[in-house]
A and B are shown apart, each in its own frame.
Chain A
C-alpha cells in the first residue's frame, strides 16, 4: 500500500528524470490542453479542503482551485481529474508529472520552493499550526502539554514545527507519525496519543471526522505560519501564470463585488475594473493563452474567493471557520491580489 505507492511514485519520478530531458519546458500547458483536463493532486480526504461528498464528487477550497483553472482553460470547471495524495507522496507525484497542479493544503516554505524544482503559485488559505486535545485531559493551553504523546502525519511541516515548539518551550514530547490522516485520527481517538497537531483549519476538519466531535477541543495557541497554496513544476511559466491568475481572478472578483449570481449582469457594468476582470474590455485572455472570458467562467462556475471560502469552510459549511486572516486586505485580512489590468 503506502510503501508500494511511494516506491511506484519514486520509481516513476526516477524514470521520468532518467529519460532524456529533451522537451519539458513549456509542456505542461500544452499537454493539459491536449488531454482536455487538469490533473489535480488533492488530499485523501479533508472536509472543506478536498474531500468527496456522498455522491463521490470532490469538494473543497483546494478542489476549487483546480476547478477554477479548468474553467479558465476549458470554460468548464468539471474538466478535472483528481488524484488523492498523502503528505509523503505529494511532491513526488508532482515532480513525476502524475499531477499537473498540487492543491493539497501544502505550506509554502523556502526549502520546498527552492530545492524541489517546484513553484508555489499563490496562497488560497492562510493557516497556522494548532493542537487538538481530548476534553478529558482538562488542558487549557499547549504550555501544559509537556510529556505528551502527539499524533502527527509524516512528511509535513507539522513535524518540524512541533519539534521547534516543544524545544523552544523546553518541553518533552513523543511523536507518533502516521502516513495518512485517517490513521492519525484513529490513533487519537483510541488514546494512543494525548493530542493531535496539524494546521488549525485541518484540526477543525478532522474534528468533524471524530465519532464524537464534542469530545475534543482545539487549543488557542497557533504556533506557526502556514500559507497554503497550489504548487506547480518549475520550468513552465505559462502554466504557472494560469494557475496563479486563476486564483487572483477569484480574489479580484470578490474585491470588485462580482459573484456567481450577479456575474452575468456585471458583464454590462460600466466600472472599468469589472469590465477588465470579466474580459469585456482592455486585457486579453490571450496573454494567458486562454479565452477572453476566462475570469467570467471562473466566477460563473466556481465563484469568487469569498463565495468559495464560505461554501467550503465558512458559514455555509460544517466547519464554520471565520474569515480571519483570509478576509480581503481591505476588510481586515491579508488576502490580496495584484490588479487585473
Chain B
C-alpha cells in the first residue's frame, strides 16, 4: 500500500525506458531498420549473384525493339515498338478485361442476388442453382469451357454468320462496324461532354428542390432527353462528320471494323459469370442483414414496395455489401491473369510471358508485374473505401 502511494506521488520523472510510448517508438524504429536492411541485403545479393552467373540485369531492355506481334492492342503497336510498349499494351489489355468483368459481374451478381430472395420458388431455386454451379467449378475450367466449347465451335470466317452484312460472327471473333470520326466531330464531342455536365447539375438541382419542397422531378427522362437530343442535334447540324467502317472478308480474314476476339469474349464471360456467383451471395446476405422491422416500418409509413427497396433496404444493405464486393473486384482483377491459358494477350501473357522469355530478365519483369497488380488492387481498394465511406451510416 505504502509503495503504491509513493509511486503515485512521483509520476513526474518516469524512466525513459519504461515509458510505453518511447518503447513503442524504439521498437518500431528497430523493426523498420531490420526490414530495410533485409531488403537491402536481398537486393544486393540478387544483383551480385546474377552478375556472377552472367545474367544481365537492369531496365535497359525496356527501350529495345520487341520484334514480336501482339494479337490485340488498344494503342498503336507493331513489331518495331519497344519492350516498354509491350508492357503498356499488356497492362491496357488487363485493365480492359478487368473493367468489363467488373461491370458485367456486378450487374449479373445484383440481379441474381435479388432473384435468389424472390418469393417465387422456381425463380429463387434457379438463381440458387446458378450460384452453386458457377461458384464451385474452378475458374480455369470455366475459361477453357467458354473458349473451347463456344469459341471453337463457331464456323470459319468464310462461313461466318452475319447480320445485315455488317456484323460477322466466326471463330475469329465478332466483327462490328467501327465508327470513323471526321474532322468536324469535335463539336459533337463537346456537345456530349456538355450534356453530361448539364445532367449532373440537373440532378443536383432536382434533389435540392425535392429536399426543400418535396416536389418530384423526372430526372431520368429529362436526362435521357438531354443526353440524346443535344449531341444528336449538334451532330446533324455539323453535317454528320462520322461514318462507319464495315468489316469485309478479304482473303483469309475480315478486314476493317472492330473485332471482339474470342479470347477476350471467353475471358470476360468466364470472369463475370464466376465472380457474379459470389457477388450474388454477397448481395443476398446484405439484403438479409437489413432487419425486417425496417421493411415493416416503411410499409406502415405507406411507402410503396419498390420505394421501400430503393430508399430503405438497398441503402442499408449497401453498407454490408460494399466491403466484400471490393474483395470480389480485387479477385476478378487478379484472376484475369489466367488469360495466358487461352492466349489472351494480358499483362502476364505479354509482359511476364513473352517479353520475359525473349529478354530473360525474369527478376525485373516479375517485380514490375507484381507492382502493377499491387497498384491496380490498391486503386480499386481506395476507390471502394471512398465509396464505402460515402455510403456509411451518417448519424444526423
Contacts and interface: CB of A to CB of B under 8 A. Distances in A.
A324 B359 CA distance: 32
A14 B363 CA distance: 7
Contact of A160 (B46, B67, B80, B343): B67
A147 interface: yes
B152 interface: yes
Nearest to A112: B360
B353 A187 contact: no
Interface stretch (B108-116, B206-214, B237-245, B334-342): B334-342
A13 B362 contact: yes
Given A112-B360, A186-B148, A149 B172 contact: yes
A281 to B, nearest CB: 38
Contact of B67 (A145, A148, A163): A163
A18 interface: yes
A115 B358 contact: no
Given A149-B172, A234-B54, A179 B340 contact: yes
Contacts of A166: 69
A96 to B, nearest CB: 9
B69 A173 contact: yes
B377 interface: no
B234 interface: no
B353 A160 contact: no
Contacts of B82: none
B360 A115 contact: yes
Interface stretch (B250-258, B288-296, B320-328): B250-258
Which of B342, B353, B359 has the most CB atoms of chain A within a 10 A radius of its CB? B353
Interface in A106-132: 111-112, 114-117
Interface in A237-289: none
Contacts of A163: 67-69, 79
Contacts of B171: 190-192
A217 B49 CA distance: 47
B255 A91 contact: no
Nearest to B140: A1
Contact of B54 (A154, A162, A178, A235): A235
A146 interface: yes
A154 B262 contact: no
Contacts of B253: 147-149, 174, 194
Contacts of B366: 7, 10, 14
A77 B264 CA distance: 47
Contacts of B148: 186, 190
A164 B68 CA distance: 8
Contact of B71 (A1, A14, A174): A174
A155 B200 CA distance: 49
Interface residues of B, number: 53
Interface in B32-59: 42, 45-46, 48-50, 52-56
Interface in B345-396: 345, 348-349, 352-354, 356-360, 362-363, 366
Contacts of B42: 18
A159 B156 CA distance: 24
Given A17-B46, A21-B52, A149-B252, A88 B357 contact: yes
Nearest to A7: B366
Contacts of B80: 167
A211 B362 CA distance: 37
B251 A177 contact: no
Contacts of A31: none
Given A6-B352, A235-B54, A147 B357 contact: no
Contacts of A175: 68-71
A52 B24 CA distance: 61
Nearest to A184: B343
Contact of A167 (B79, B338, B358): B79
Given A3-B340, A186-B148, A191-B156, A92 B362 contact: yes
B286 interface: no
Contacts of A178: 342-343
Contacts of A137: 252
13 contacts: A17-B55, A87-B357, A116-B54, A146-B251, A155-B358, A162-B69, A163-B69, A164-B79, A178-B342, A179-B343, A183-B341, A183-B342, A186-B152
Given A95-B362, A179-B353, 16 more contacts: A3-B340, A17-B53, A20-B49, A21-B53, A88-B357, A114-B54, A117-B53, A149-B253, A154-B353, A164-B79, A175-B69, A175-B70, A179-B341, A186-B148, A192-B152, A235-B53
Interface of A: 1-3, 6-7, 10, 13-14, 16-21, 24, 87-88, 91-92, 95, 111-112, 114-117, 137, 145-149, 154-156, 159-160, 162-164, 166-167, 173-179, 183, 186-187, 190-192, 194, 233-235
Q: Which 8 A-B pairs have the closest CB atoms?
A: A155-B357, A190-B152, A117-B55, A21-B49, A117-B54, A163-B79, A117-B53, A116-B360
